[in-house]
Amino acid sequence: MASNRDQADLLAAAGFAEVEEADFTGEFLETALRWLRFSRELEPALRASLGDDVADQQLADRTEMVTAIEEGLLKRSLLVAAARPRK
């Protein structure tokens, strides 16, 4: 989803209260880096089982993901909110 408003604001606008956000972008980057590293280490086996086209696409996708996280374009958060009581 694309929006010029952050997700906490969108939840509040949708009627949720007590919106809390926990940023897990650092952990997400660590996971994405490991995923990319092991994909590269296991590349011959992945190519053998998935084929060159799929392996190439996965490596490209994972590389783009890491780049986007490092550039601040992609993040991961956990949002918790309470429903407002109905009137």
Q: In the structure encoding, which two tokens stand for residue 21, read together?
A: 């956000």
Give residue 68's pLDDT: 97
Sequence ranges of the domains in the chain: 23-78
- How far is the C-alpha of 40 from the C-alpha of 34, rounded, in Å? 10
Give residue 1's pLDDT: 57
- How far is the C-alpha of 43 from the C-alpha of 57, rounded, in Å? 12
**pLDDT tens sequence for the chain (87 residues):** 567 888 888 998 888 999 999 999 999 999 999 999 999 999 999 999 999 999 999 999 999 999 999 999 999 999 999 988 777
User: Taking a C-beta distance cutoff of 8 angstroms, is the pair 80, 8 a contact?
Assistant: no
Q: What is the pTM of this model?
A: 0.76
